[in-house]
């Protein structure tokens, strides 16, 4: 990508009504566009980040047996009435609309009913289980007040996997695999060192659910963390009985603000019962399917990475989800420097290294450096008259203060070795 061809532009200021760091930096950098409160469009740079997060999640879900599908956002009133969650008195975040032909439909705010209804058509025997379908889709929630930038919106993009198992043993075995997969996701996305498995309320389904909470000063949740074990407890379930069951001591816990970046739930038969989702076991007896739910908001994860890793200059993307691996800067108008920068750019492309090339003419070095810091690519490579005098390209990581001049061959080796 040539920056001169990128239709988005960086901004010095974010909208005055944005208070969250993630929205401010992402808007200023041209990653997202704010349509209205809680609703954002993902621009080219932002979409590249989302797609990389999506691919990480897809790989981890497939590795534990997930089967990707795609469900509609339109929700059938009759299906949701079976679980008693169509009523606005029960669920107050529905977006609903009327069809011209008559009747009412909703827009997905979650997916349990939709999956239970679909799987009922395909599950009849113990031989059909277990099964782990999932999809990526837009979710809509009519929140009274939307805040925290892309970390909490009225429309957001998520992944939800639902497990369908024969019994508790089979369910629990998969549940443990899902825990590990989620930890892998957050590690690969660059915030594993700040993200903790957190015990939270299981509601009516089980004793506990599990959240994955990333420590952040802007977090809406309060967790109590045992730093030695890496286990955390949400404030909502913190009591002596819970601490004893988890073998934790209150005096060892540290209070932290945190952002929930994912959650997993045991659902039991709550959603298989209303849909009569049963299978026949080896003895021909009818049994209800045991379900689980596993969710991640991709925009929420993206926003949390920005909140957790950014500095006072801008975003710092982990290599795994950065829009481009290297930001190549051309400094000055000298023809020899331009030609050298073009040569470097073509070499990076030829070696399949993702690069955004700041080839803009008439833009000062200071402005280019500031933009590079704001956009936050993992590496910044500079071609200038100064670097050419030293027979090379100046390279530095985004979070390093000073760079060094190396040859083009060394640059390619460096960037390819960190692929």
Span 222-255, pLDDT tens digits: 999 999 999 999 999 999 989 998 999 999 999 9
Q: Output 419 or 323, whichever has higher pLDDT.
A: 323
Give pLDDT, residue 207: 74
Q: What would the DSSP string read from start to end of 194-206?
A: GEEEEEEE-TTT-
* pLDDT-based confidence at residue 146 (cuts at 50, 70, 90): low
pLDDT at position 295 over 90: yes
Which H or E element spans position 262? strand 253-268
CATH superfamily of 326-417: Anticodon-binding domain (3.40.50.800)
Q: Are 357 and 328 in contact (CB under 8 A)?
A: yes
CATH code at 3-309? 3.30.930.10
pLDDT at position 206 over 70: no
Q: Output 207 or 30, whichever has higher pLDDT.
A: 30
Span 299-317, pLDDT tens digits: 999 999 999 999 999 999 9
pLDDT at position 149 over 90: no
Closest CA to 198 of 245, 157, 233: 233
Boundaries of every domain in the chain: 3-309, 326-417
Residues 6+ apart with CB under 8 A from 240: 250
**What global pTM score does this model have?**
0.94
Q: Average pLDDT of 70-83?
A: 95
Average pLDDT of the chain to the nearest whole number: 94
The partner residues of 41 in beta bridges, in order of sequence, read 33
Span 112-140, pLDDT tens digits: 999 999 999 999 999 999 999 999 999 99
End-to-end distance of the chain based on CA atoms, in angstroms? 18
Give pLDDT, residue 374: 97
Provide the token pair at 87.
Answer: 């009523």
Provide the token pair at 392.
Answer: 């090379």
Span 385-412, pLDDT tens digits: 999 999 899 999 999 988 899 999 999 9
* 3-state secondary structure at position 254: strand
pLDDT at position 205 over 60: no
* pLDDT-based confidence at residue 144 (cuts at 50, 70, 90): confident
> What value, to the nearest 5°, has the Cα angle with vertex 66 and ends 64 and 69?
165
CA distance 319 to 288: 44
* pLDDT-based confidence at residue 204 (cuts at 50, 70, 90): low
Closest CA to 328 of 305, 304, 351, 303: 351
pLDDT at position 10 over 60: yes
Q: Are 348 and 341 in contact (CB under 8 A)?
A: no
pLDDT at position 211 over 60: yes
Provide the token pair at 152.
Answer: 């909490």
Span 177-201, pLDDT tens digits: 999 999 999 999 999 999 999 999 8
Q: What would the DSSP string read from start to end of 167-194?
A: SHHHHHHHHHHHHHHHHHHHHHTT-GGG
Give pLDDT, residue 150: 83
């Amino acid at each position: 990508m040539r920056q001169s061809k990128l239709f988005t532009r960086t901004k010095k200021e974010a909208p005055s009504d944005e208070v969250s760091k993630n929205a401010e930096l992402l808007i200023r950098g041209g990653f997202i566009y704010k349509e209205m409160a809680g609703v954002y469009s993902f621009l080219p740079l932002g979409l590249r980040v989302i797609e990389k997060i999506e691919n990480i999640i897809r790989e981890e879900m497939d590795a534990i047996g997930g089967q990707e599908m795609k469900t509609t956002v339109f929700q059938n009133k009759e299906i949701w009435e079976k679980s008693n969650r169509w009523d606005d008195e029960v669920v107050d975040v529905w977006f609903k609309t009327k069809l011209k032909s008559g009747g009412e439909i909703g827009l997905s705010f979650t997916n349990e009913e939709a999956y239970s209804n679909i799987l009922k058509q395909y599950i009849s025997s113990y031989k059909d289980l277990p099964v782990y379908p999932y999809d990526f889709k837009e979710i809509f929630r009519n929140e009274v007040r939307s805040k925290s930038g892309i970390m909490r919106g009225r429309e957001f993009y998520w992944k939800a996997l639902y497990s369908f198992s024969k019994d508790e043993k089979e369910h629990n075995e998969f549940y443990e695999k899902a825990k590990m997969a989620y930890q892998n996701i957050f590690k690969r996305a660059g915030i594993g060192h700040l993200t903790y498995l957190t015990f939270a309320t299981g509601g009516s389904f089980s004793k506990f659910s599990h959240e994955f909470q990333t420590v952040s000063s802007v977090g809406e949740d309060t967790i109590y963390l045992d730093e030695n074990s890496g286990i955390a407890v949400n404030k909502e379930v913190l009591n002596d009985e819970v601490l004893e069951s988890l073998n934790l001591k209150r005096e060892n816990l540290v209070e932290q603000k945190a952002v929930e970046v994912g959650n997993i739930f045991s659902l039991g038969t709550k959603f298989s019962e209303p849909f009569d989702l049963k299978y026949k076991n080896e003895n021909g007896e009818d049994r209800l399917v045991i379900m689980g739910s596993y969710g991640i908001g991709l925009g929420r994860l993206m926003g949390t990475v920005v909140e957790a890793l950014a500095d006072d200059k801008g975003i710092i993307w982990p290599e795994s989800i950065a829009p481009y691996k290297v930001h190549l800067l051309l400094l000055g108008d000298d023809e020899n420097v331009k030609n050298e920068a073009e040569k470097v750019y073509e070499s990076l492309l030829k070696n399949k290294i993702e690069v955004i090339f700041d080839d803009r003419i008439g833009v000062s070095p200071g402005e280019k450096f500031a933009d590079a810091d704001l956009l936050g690519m993992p590496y910044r490579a500079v071609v200038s008259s100064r670097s050419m005098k030293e027979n090379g390209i100046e390279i530095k990581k985004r979070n390093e203060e000073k760079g060094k001049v190396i040859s083009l061959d060394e640059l390619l080796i460096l960037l390819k070795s960190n692929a």
